[in-house]
Structure 1
Amino acid sequence: MLKPPERGFFVGYFKKVPADIRRLMLVFIATFIGTFAAAAFVLALDTDSPGSGSFAGPPPEGEITGTIDLLPYPVLRVAASPGSPARAIMLAGTGKFGVSDRAEKLKGKSVVVGGFFVKRGDLEMLLVGGKMKAEDEQPADLPVPQAPEDLGRWRLTGEICDGKCAAGAMRPGTGLAHKACANLCISGGVPPVFVSTAPVEGRSFFLMASADGGPMPAWLLNKTAIPVVLEGRVERRDDLLVFKVDGQAKDGGT
């Protein structure tokens, strides 16, 4: 009966693999698995973080009462109360649409809005979940929101995103992979935001507007989801900063 040689030669119909070949195969398998594991780890380090954005749930009271600014995009202005400062809350719909049509009919009235928040750091947006109507009994004197405060002219580096996804409706809601989604949301009326690499007055997220205070210029859709440098004036509305772009965009790397 034939016997396998003690070393250096493998015959397929013998059950026993020579020791030196067995050791070589084990080293090869361990190296192969280790190489791919290391490659996966290195590639994962270069992957963009999905961010801390999340669905933060409905307002504590279930709904919020305030008045609406229509431009550049619908913003709910909530008057200050004891222990609570005035707020300016960006509004969007639950799909890839804004709420401009609904908000237009409520101008100059006290409005009750229901929905749920998406939040990422100091970026916060209320997604209107059905309820958005004038109060049944209008107050004799509506609270008058504070006038915007001009914070001067700024040159900012960052990224243009749609405020809904950037705040947590999508993860990640920023970066080039999100460009098509961002453009669909912004084109549908979702308020766009500028995510700055450096804060202004402690804020890194800005509602975007044109130089005259209207919606973001359409040509900036070509600059979403990439590093970009923009110039314009920044104004404060309660706890919200608005970036009124009045210059040409430059690539962020230049």
Structure 2
Amino acid sequence: MKDEFYIGYLPKAPKRIARFVMVFVLLLFVVMGSVSFFLSTSHDHINNGTYEYGELTELKGVIQMEPVPHIRVLADDAGKVGKNIMLIDFGKFGARSSVEKMQEKTGGNISDFEVTIRGTLVYQDGFTLLELTEKDKALLNHQPLNNSTRYEAITSNSTSVSLMGEIVDPKCYFGSMKPAQNKPHKSCASLCIAGGIPPVYVVQTEQQLAEYYIIKGVNGEDINNEILDFVAEGVNIQGKVEKHNEWNIIYIDPSQIQRLN
């Protein structure tokens, strides 16, 4: 039996060669399809965070510097429904510097004024941030606060906890990057936290939901630099948790953080 030999200028390939090529192509499609399916189903789910890039939103409320810079806004005139919105600066920086410059413009303690500010919203799972895209120019208006009790913080008693989760930077995690967690995001998250953006601890519950805790030192101090080695990694932390309105604040000793094996 003569061996089949393919010559490129012939209109058709020999039957055995044609069958081999067809089978090979079909197998290639099956293998590539299986690999694609595996990769698409095995990677981390991209979260539903939103970063309203290019869209500025105005908010009216009272700015507080502790436990982290934030503005308290009210959803009703009676002041019974409100929300804490963390303030962050443009880029990879915290908002303290910009808020301090806003305070200079008011001529007093900024918490004694009801202010209108403008910025870019970042949000996910009910946790909201406002990027001061225009920095201190985000302050549009201010007037003396007549009824401070409407904006008073409600703080719960602290409880001791031991939790397992991941330390993230909230700006990227809640919307400006998706996904923004685990080791592939470590360098970016470290830059954000080193720049003053408050670190947040994410804990997954048994119901596949997430709980969020703003991290502070034992005495309420910022410990951004002290936790940089543990950012974007699975860690166990122990400390005391208290509620600040709807926020969870966890006070920890960074030397007691333990990596998860």
Normalized against structure 2, the TM-score is what?
A: 0.82
Are 2:49 and 1:53 equivalent residues in the alignment? yes
Cα distance per residue 1:131-150 (max 9 Å; x no partner): 44485431345345134212
String of CA shifts for 1:185-226, please: whole Å, max 9, x gaps.
Answer: 111111211111128xx9611211111111135231111111
Q: Percent identity?
A: 26
Q: Indicate the residue corresponding to 2:153 in structure 1.
A: 146
Change (3 A) 1:206 1:13: closer
- 2:178 maps to 1:171: yes
The structure whose Rg is larger is 1
Is residue 78 of structure 2 the alignment partner of residue 82 of structure 1? yes
How many residue pairs match? The answer is 243
Aligned counterpart, 1:123: 127
In the TM superposition, residue 12 of structure 1 has moved relative to its aligned partner by: 2.3
Q: Say yes or no: does 1:35 pair with 2:31.
A: yes
Q: Do the aligned residues in 1 keep the contact of 2:193 with 2:199 (CA within 8 Å)?
A: yes
Q: 2:237 aligns with which of 230, 237, 254?
A: 230
Equivalent in the alignment of 2:7: 12
- Looking at secondary structure, tell me which structure has more helix per residue: 2
Instruction: Assess if the C-alpha contact under 8 Å between 2:51 and 2:175 holds in 1.
Output: yes
Determine the C-alpha separation between the residues in 1 that align with 2:80 and 2:210. 19
Partner of 2:106: none
Taking structure 1 as the reference length, what is the TM-score of the superposition? 0.84
Which stretch shows the higher mean deviation, 104-113 or 93-102? 104-113
Check conservation: 2:198, 2:224, Cα contact below 8 A.
no
Q: Which string of whole-angstrom CA distances, capped at 9 and with x for unpartnered residues, describes residues 19-41 of structure 1?
A: 12211111011112321221122
1:175 and 1:148 mapped to 2: Cα distance? Answer: 31
Map 1:185-204 → 2, pairs under 5 A: 185-198=192-205, 204=211
CA separation in 1, counterparts of 2:227 and 2:219? 15
Q: CA deviation at 1:58?
A: 4.8
Aligned-partner Cα distance in 2 for 1:13–1:235: 77
Moved more, 50-59 or 79-88: 79-88
Q: Following the alignment from structure 2 to structure 1, what is the Cα–Cα distance between the partners of residues 229 and 179?
A: 20
- Larger mean CA deviation between 71-80 and 90-99 belongs to 71-80
Kept after mapping to 2: 8 A contact 1:87/1:240: no
2:112 aligned counterpart, secondary structure: coil
Contact 1:89–1:240 (Cα < 8 Å) also in 2 = no
Partner of 1:96: 92
Q: Which runs of 5+ in 1 are unaligned?
A: none
Pick the aligned partner of 1:113 from 117, 123, 131.
117
Report the Cα offset of residue 92 of structure 1.
0.2
Amino acid in structure 1 at the alignment position of 2:247: L
Is contact 1:8-1:20 (8 Å) kept? Answer: no
